[in-house]
Structure 1
């Protein structure tokens, strides 16, 4: 086969694999080529394939990872910490096996419904996904990845409107489910957001995720002053106070948390990606870390309330 024919076969194969050159990836994600190369060389966050001449080619999975990276960076997570978060997500996807394909198909259908602003279609998909998955999977594997991708890619025309449409839809559905679950439990925790949590939906999803048959969750509105949480705990008498954040706590926030613990009559726990990042630095402190994954957070919360989990 001559060189021209070989190149044509390579191009056809690339078309079938939907591989994108770095210039196109920069256009799709808003991340310049210099940054993409740095993420690859310095942190190993993305591993594009290479042509014989050394040019980088990115798959759709690579592009999805880039958008997830942007989402974590927007939340304040250091780029050096993003690799472990991505690896955990990939490991969970690998454990899910064939289920991952169904999640991706649902995500694609959600995107199509959003492009049409089709609330009835979203309703049908929401019910369908809930019928086939656990609550954790509904949000962590299907709806929230789309929400995060749209939040990270709002530079493209129409994506901000689609993100707002999805955000409003999910807040309504999650709030309705919280109301249905609002029955007395043997234990109650108070959930609030640390300063810097920008979106109410993340707080509402965490409230659903933390609740169980024996643990009820009372959620304070986003924007609750940190210095008044002791007052809220004094009046509501929860078994524990859980603070949610996806940003690493600053030194000033850590100092404020230590002062808060001194004025509380219940334990203080940290949940979300912040607890993953800060777990080592908080070891031995009065603040316990619940993690960021739904089932892990629930298990650790139950263990802590039962006195089986140390800080």
Structure 2
């Protein structure tokens, strides 16, 4: 069972720790547990509860009223909120709750709603990316395990593949080519898949080489395809002390090609990006580059 500190609840819910304590004392919204050494902690049920309470409170429900509501009443109100167009935070929280329960049916429903309401691209940007950011907090605080990550990654990956499969791949409106790949050892594919979708939606030619690609195979594919752009996403590989070497190697091998690099491993302050290599801080940076003025 996961253990959350009150600070972690604050980061995940947006409710200040001081406010959470007041709600505990006045309204018994939460009942923290204690370790053998008398340290307070919260569990998954507490996290889901505070997420729901924070949403209702933001939407005008008084905390005194929420405290008197039965769990099924809270669930009904949250469901009604999640049906409302533009209510992205409730949809993010619904994804978190379904992930914690590893409930595939609930996760699918929570993911399908924003896709239907917002369209695929905006649903990924406005709901899935904020959800993944919160997943990062849960991961860093050891409150989810690899099984949780695999569970959600697989379901989101399926959605991306289906969306890409539904695109008209023969309708490229420009001669500009993009080659997308993940280096050897890198298996986190979601960002690259979404970039693939974004490029095809804007009618570019794309060669998608997926994950774990050895460098010699990248060179052979480049020689065949001759793209003007190479795109990669570095989430966990190369290792921190090897990223600069990898960037330099890419730049030397493809000196006339624009190289776009996204991901956690590309964000270190000490990195020096070669002239033909550009760091993408956010996915919006990539969208700005590929969207015609």
TM-score, length-normalised on structure 1?
Answer: 0.56
Q: Structure 1's 117 and 243: CA in aligned 2 closer, same or farther, altered over 3 A?
A: closer
Per-residue CA deviation, residues 81-123 of structure 1 (Å, 9 max, x unaligned), is: xxxxxxxxxxxxxxxxxx9982221123234444565444433
Residue number among 274, 277, 282 corresponding to 1:287 in the alignment: 277
Q: Pairwise mapping of residues 68-87 of structure 1 onto structure 2 (< 5 A)?
A: none
Which ranges in structure 2 are unaligned for 5 or more consecutive residues? 1-20, 45-49, 52-83
Q: Which structure is higher in helix share?
A: 1
1:206 matched to 2:195? The reply is: yes
Instruction: Give the deviation of 1:196 after TM superposition.
Output: 5.4
Report the Cα distance in structure 2 between the residues aligned to 1:13 and 1:179, rounded to whole angstroms.
Answer: 53
- How many residues align? The count is 226
1:103 matched to 2:88? The reply is: yes
Partner SS for 2:272: helix
Q: Structure 1's 160 and 259: CA in aligned 2 closer, same or farther, altered over 3 A?
A: closer
Q: Structure 1's 13 and 179: CA in aligned 2 closer, same or farther, altered over 3 A?
A: same
1:270 matched to 2:283? The reply is: no
Q: Pairwise mapping of residues 168-187 of structure 1 onto structure 2 (< 5 A)?
A: 168-184=154-170, 185=172, 186=174, 187=176
- Contact 2:88–2:127 (CA<8 Å) still a contact in 1? yes
- Contact 1:188–1:238 (CA<8 Å) still a contact in 2? yes
Residue number among 108, 124, 129 corresponding to 2:109 in the alignment: 124
Report the Cα distance in structure 1 between the residues aligned to 2:270 and 2:287, rounded to whole angstroms.
Answer: 17
1:245 matched to 2:231? The reply is: no
- Contact 1:191–1:241 (CA<8 Å) still a contact in 2? yes
Partner SS for 2:235: coil
Q: Structure 1's 270 and 200: CA in aligned 2 closer, same or farther, altered over 3 A?
A: closer
- Contact 1:239–1:266 (CA<8 Å) still a contact in 2? yes
Which ranges in structure 1 are unaligned for 5 or more consecutive residues? 1-7, 30-58, 61-98, 307-311
Q: Pairwise mapping of residues 25-64 of structure 1 onto structure 2 (< 5 A)?
A: none
- Contact 1:135–1:209 (CA<8 Å) still a contact in 2? no
Per-residue CA deviation, residues 149-206 of structure 1 (Å, 9 max, x unaligned), is: 457646558x554443322211111111112225132232111124553423333233
Partner SS for 1:165: helix
1:189 matched to 2:167? The reply is: no
Per-residue CA deviation, residues 207-244 of structure 1 (Å, 9 max, x unaligned), is: 32454423243321210013432221111222211121
Residue number among 219, 228, 233 corresponding to 2:208 in the alignment: 219
Report the Cα distance in structure 2 between the residues aligned to 1:114 and 1:183, rounded to whole angstroms.
Answer: 33
Instruction: Give the deviation of 1:13 after TM superposition.
Output: 4.5
